[in-house]
Amino acid sequence: MKLKIAVLAGDGIGPEVIDQAVKVSDAIAKKFNHEITWRPALTGAAAIDAVGEPYPDETHEICASSDAVLFGAIGHPRFDNDPSAKVRPEQGLLKMRKKLGLFANVRPTFTFPSLLDKSPLKRERIEGTDLVFLRELTGGIYFGEKGRRDEGETAFDNCVYTRAEVQRLAVKGFELAMTRSKKLCCVDKANVLETSRLWRETVQAMEKDYPEVTVSYEFVDAVAMRLVQWPNSYDVLITENLFGDILTDEASVISGSMGLMPSASLGSNIGLFEPIHGSYPQATGLNIANPMATILSAAMMFENFGLLEEGKVIRDAVNSALDKGIVTEDLADGGKAYGTIEVGNWITENI
Ligand code: IPM
Ligand code: MN
């Protein structure tokens, strides 16, 4: 297969972890006879510094004319501590999601047998956890009207959803549930929020189209609690943008390190693949960041092209690195810690 992949390394540790995922993907391409053309483009603080905006038109053109986007991380402390900053790196990510029509964010949480004791949760609670959040990504409070009034003394962010936006996300949830254990949880706050009532009503009306799927409806606060009590009781969860943002961070530490979980953003025919973690500015340039989440995002990318064997070879190589203790310091636990590059090289060689 001939693939054109836009590669947006972004900020902080982004470039370091992306380099490893590119190396791994090239090894896969060689092994399975694919041809990948990498198309680098600027985003985030790096793009603000270079051209004054976090998702320049030129970057969009590169993404929109590629088959997929491989994304590193975005964000810089220089902007976090300045609430008055007019342009922020994160705006680039939001603009990109919207312009590429990426309304469904797929965020899995699974455990690795060799890491069960590295999780902050007890082994018996997390064993067998294998769940997927489908987070709505281009609507809700992130994209509603926002602003100030009363001379800046009052601020507002509106949360808006249309039935069509809920439906298209829920379709993906039902379809995913059909390929797994046929259990779907709709996470909302329907006891308080009108948008949540629209979510619930819409999903309830769709149940008849998927008679084999058992749907549960749970409030977001209860899910936050049950996620750390019995994560293995969940399978596919669908939710709105902000709830999904928060719950997927919570879920990402279950496996033992935030540096392990990949994600995909889908919607149009161009998918975006990125690690769940952020730009980890303190680690920039130190060769200590865990590249596995980005490498596993590349696995999701191949799988999304229907190249399942390619994805599996990457996952198996990551698993053997974990089994053999070829890990960065977040997982070393007093043992030997390898560098970002060394972990990337080891996985590449094993492919
Ligand atoms: C994420 C991030 C982004 C979000 C930020 C960087 C805008 O936290 O992808 O989860 O809130 O969606
Ligand atoms: Mn987030």
Q: List domains and CATH numbers for the chain.
A: 1-107+261-351 (3.40.718.10), 120-255 (3.40.718.10)
245 Cβ inside 6 Å of ligand 1: yes
Q: Nearest ligand, CA of residue 275?
A: 1
Tell me the pTM. Answer: 0.94
Task: Considering only the C-alpha atoms of the chain, give the largest distance between any 2 of them, rounded to a whole number of Å.
Answer: 62
Report CA-CA distances (Å) from 37 to 7, 15, 84, 239. 10, 17, 39, 35
Both tokens assigned to 132: 């997927």
Q: Is 157 a catalytic residue?
A: no
d(CA 47, CA 139): 25
Q: Which of 245, 280, 330, 338 is catalytic?
A: 245
Distance from residue 340's CA to the centre of ligand 1 (Å): 23
Which residue's CA is the nearest one to ligand 1's atom 5?
Answer: 90
- Whole-number Å distance between alpha carbons of 273 and 261: 11
pLDDT at residue 248, as a whole number: 94
Catalytic residue among 26, 130, 235, 249: 249
Q: Are 126 and 231 in contact (CB under 8 A)?
A: yes
User: Side chain identity at 346, as an amino acid letter?
Assistant: W
* 3-state percent breakdown (helix, strand, coil) of the chain, nearest 5: 50, 20, 30
The number of the ligand nearest the C-alpha atom of 142 reads 1
The per-residue DSSP string of 19-80 comes to HHHHHHHHHHHHHHT-EEEEEE---HHHHHHHHSSSS-HHHHHHHHTSSEEEEEE---HHHH
Ligand 1 center to residue 73 CA distance, Å? 10
* DSSP per residue, 177-244: HHHTTSEEEEEE-TTT-HHHHHHHHHHHHHGGG-TT-EEEEEEHHHHHHHHHH-GGG--EEEE-HHHH
Nearest ligand 1 atom, CA 89: 6
Residue ranges for the chain with pLDDT beneath 70: none
Measured in Å, residue 34 CA sits from the centre of ligand 2 at 33
Residue bearing tokens 């999904």: 244
pLDDT for 198 equals: 98
Nearest ligand, CA 246 = 2
Token duo for residue 117: 């004791």
User: What is the length of the chain?
Assistant: 351
Is 249 part of the annotated catalytic residue set?
Answer: yes
| 189 is a catalytic site residue | yes
Q: Is 301 left (phi over 0), alpha (psi -120 to 50) or beta?
A: alpha
93 lines ligand 1 (CB under 6 A): yes
Task: Give 192-250 pLDDT, tens digit per residue.
Answer: 999 999 999 999 999 999 999 999 999 999 999 999 999 999 999 999 999 999 999 99
Ligand 1 in reach of 90 Cβ (< 6 A): yes
In ligand 1, which atom is closest to the CA atom of 94? 7
Task: Give the integer Cα–Cα distance in Å for 234 and 289.
Answer: 29
Say what the pLDDT of residue 257 is.
85
Q: Going by CA atoms, what residue is nearest to atom 8 of ligand 1?
A: 245
Q: Is 32 left (phi over 0), alpha (psi -120 to 50) or beta?
A: alpha
Rounded Cα gap, residues 349 and 331, in angstroms = 21
